[in-house]
Amino acid sequence: MSRAIRGSLLGLLALGASTPVFAQYMPSQTPKPPPFFAIENVRVVTGTGSNLDGATVVIANGLIESVGTNVTVPADAWIIDGSGLTVYPGLFDGLSQVGLESDGPTAGGGGGGGGNPFAQLASGPRSDGPEDRPATTPWLDAADLLDADSDAVESWREGGFTGALVAPDEGIVTGKGAVINLGGDAQEMVVKTPAALRVTMNGVGFISYPGSLMGVISYIRQLYLDAGHQNTYGAAYEAAPRGQPRPTYDRALGPIQDAIAGGWPTIMPAVEVKEMRRVIKLGRDTGASPVIAGAHDAYEIAAEIAAAGVAVLVNLDWPEANRNADPEADESLTSLKRRAYAPTTPARLEEAGVVWAFYSGGAGSPTRVKSKVRDAIDNGLAEEAALRALTISPARIYGVDQVLGTVETGKIANLVVTDGPIFDEGTKVRMVFVDGHRFEESVEERPTTPPAVDMTGTWVLSLNNDSQEATAELEMTEDGTLGGRILGERGEQQITSGWVSGNEFSITATASMGPAGQVEIVYTGTVDGNEIEGTASFGGRGSMDFRGQRPGGGG
């Protein structure tokens, strides 16, 4: 193994103007099946509140041509027997990074510049005021940053997800979000752009302006004031330009102006009550159309949010206790309350009549997302409402509900076919349709022997002769299915699939590796009590041995 590849593997193992454009459907360049599909004798959960038994769904030219119990099937359709199966609308992640290039181009503020905005702030000229536009890149469009070959696209699609809202995540005003389908090439993936503007407030901690949360909020207000002034002065100049100084070009302001005029959803983070009230006030003061993202404490002010008419994205990565914290240390009452009550937020928002949807957050994989949805269901959310929160509700928030989100005639054929209720733990995804293209389940070769050990818990991994460490946080279901994540010095690997059979295990995870993008890692090994050992392989890139222990015993 070359030194360059070896170094890359070590780093990877340590990972723990703008009118919205609707992309036209384009046929795949790969060999195509017959032009029509007909799924017969299938149960259909339409997502509109009605369910059909013994129905037929006809798919043609990427669209749902017809659905019902008395449907004429085209003579040349590919017939699929749906006996014992259920068709659902494809799942839609309300805010995600899936399919985005890991190192997409970003640029500094003002009228020019390039490179990472944070690197510029650290090494470039000091930012002394809002006119410098620090970490502000609203002209970036997620639709220009897509990586159709990302392993993450495939893994989320296999879990039943057919679409997402993706947006850049670096900076204060990060860029434009796009609604994408999880299939096809980069152009075919785009359903609508721009579909949103994203604000992260990540400027906290900058050594120059803005150097605090208060500074970031003030900066955002000033940015919107500048956009409004630019609108007013620009209109006056266009009406009578002679004898007046022309407006200064500032590419940071154009998308802000477009967002206000077009009513784009503006995604702003807020978990605590005071943060959500701040977002609501920012919307009133700036003319933005805010969408609260996070919202774990929204159970406390659901009626207030409903009265404000603000939409909400609920982060499915529910708060958890810090597993590495001192067991003798007292946890704050605020933290305890949030952990206890955050999963009740969806039910409270639903009762209050708030327009809301789920997003994956740090949940990491489709398996974990569905597990977190079950937590919300256990805390009072109806299953029908849970389905809406991952289908038609995010589509409605981003203005694509006329083409996505339900199983209805004329909509894009984004469908997931399962062998049971979609959120049940044992349910399997049997096939997925994206833009009318069929993707069958990946048949995982796993032994049939039941698990003899429980791998649930935290494992400390020693890699490459103890030169690297990582931590695996695993969750195992009764049938031996593994989920979770692996954390290291450089970031996080998301587990996309895994199993335990007897005392043997296999874990497949994806991680970002700089310019290489998303890379798949497969860990295989054996369990002996609270110790594990095995090999991590990279498919053509090499492999390394690892050992692991579960501190303090475990399951």
Q: Give the tens place of pLDDT for each residue, 66-82.
A: 999 999 998 889 999 99
In a domain, 24, yes or no: no
Are 43 and 87 in contact by the 8 Å Cβ rule? The answer is: yes
Q: Quickly state the pLDDT bin for 7 (edges 50, 70, 90).
A: very low
Q: Do 228 and 195 share a domain, yes or no?
A: yes
- Axis crossing angle, helix 366-378 with helix 151-158, rounded to the nearest 10: 40
Maximum pairwise Cα distance, the chain: 84
* pLDDT confidence of residue 114: 36
The better pLDDT of the pair 10, 201 is held by 201
Q: Do 97 and 84 share a domain, yes or no?
A: no
Give the integer Cα–Cα distance in Å for 379 and 382: 9
Could you tell me the CATH number of the domain that includes residue 84?
Answer: 2.30.40.10
Q: What is the CA radius of gyration of the chain?
A: 24
Q: Do 463 and 414 share a domain, yes or no?
A: no
Are 464 and 517 in contact by the 8 Å Cβ rule? The answer is: no
Q: Do 486 and 356 share a domain, yes or no?
A: no
In a domain, 308, yes or no: yes
Q: Do 351 and 493 share a domain, yes or no?
A: no
Q: Give the tens place of pLDDT for each residue, 446-498.
A: 788 999 999 999 999 988 766 778 899 999 998 899 988 888 765 778 788 89
Q: Do 83 and 230 share a domain, yes or no?
A: no
pLDDT tops 60 at residue 122: no
Q: Which residues, at least 6 apart from 441, have a Cβ–Cβ distance to it below 8 Å?
A: 158, 428, 429, 430, 431
* pLDDT confidence of residue 544: 83
In a domain, 525, yes or no: yes
Q: How many domains does the chain have?
A: 3
Q: Where are the alpha helices (DSSP H) in 186-342?
A: 186-189, 213-239, 253-262, 273-286, 302-308, 333-341
pLDDT tops 90 at residue 109: no
In a domain, 405, yes or no: no
* pLDDT confidence of residue 233: 85
The better pLDDT of the pair 190, 447 is held by 190
pLDDT tops 50 at residue 358: yes
**Least confident segment among 304-318, 356-370, 409-423, 512-526:** 512-526
Q: Do 175 and 62 share a domain, yes or no?
A: no
Residue type, 414: N
Q: Give the tens place of pLDDT for each residue, 31-46.
A: 455 568 999 999 999 9
* pLDDT confidence of residue 555: 52
pLDDT tops 80 at residue 367: yes
* pLDDT confidence of residue 30: 45
Q: Do 385 and 244 share a domain, yes or no?
A: yes
The closest alpha carbon to 16, from 451, 491, 375, belongs to 491
Q: Do 242 and 117 share a domain, yes or no?
A: yes
* pLDDT confidence of residue 268: 97
Are 315 and 275 in contact by the 8 Å Cβ rule? The answer is: no
Instruction: For the full predicted model, state whether its pTM sits above 0.85.
Output: no
Q: Do 54 and 8 share a domain, yes or no?
A: no
Q: What percent of the chain has pLDDT over 90?
A: 60
* pLDDT confidence of residue 213: 81
Q: Quickly state the pLDDT bin for 312 (edges 50, 70, 90).
A: very high
* pLDDT confidence of residue 214: 83
* pLDDT confidence of residue 29: 42
pLDDT tops 70 at residue 242: yes
Range of the structural domain that residue 373 is part of: 93-397
**Least confident segment among 201-205, 371-375, 507-511, 519-523:** 201-205
Average pLDDT over residues 507-530: 76
- 6 to 2, 102, 133, 471, 523: CA distances (angstroms): 6, 21, 40, 21, 17
Q: Quickly state the pLDDT bin for 10 (edges 50, 70, 90).
A: very low
Residue type, 164: A
Q: Do 77 and 112 share a domain, yes or no?
A: no
pLDDT tops 60 at residue 15: no
Local structure of 206: helix, strand or coil: coil
Q: Give the tens place of pLDDT for each residue, 396-454.
A: 999 999 999 999 999 999 999 999 999 998 899 999 999 999 997 655 567 889 999 99
Q: Give the tens place of pLDDT for each residue, 45-63.
A: 999 999 999 999 999 999 9
Calculate the average pLDDT of the chain: 85
In a domain, 555, yes or no: no
Average pLDDT over residues 9-34: 47
Burial of 544 (0-12, 13-18, 19+ CB in 10 A): buried
Average pLDDT over residues 495-503: 90
Residue 479: both structure tokens together: 């049938």
Average pLDDT over residues 327-350: 88
Segment (H or E) for 415: strand 415-418
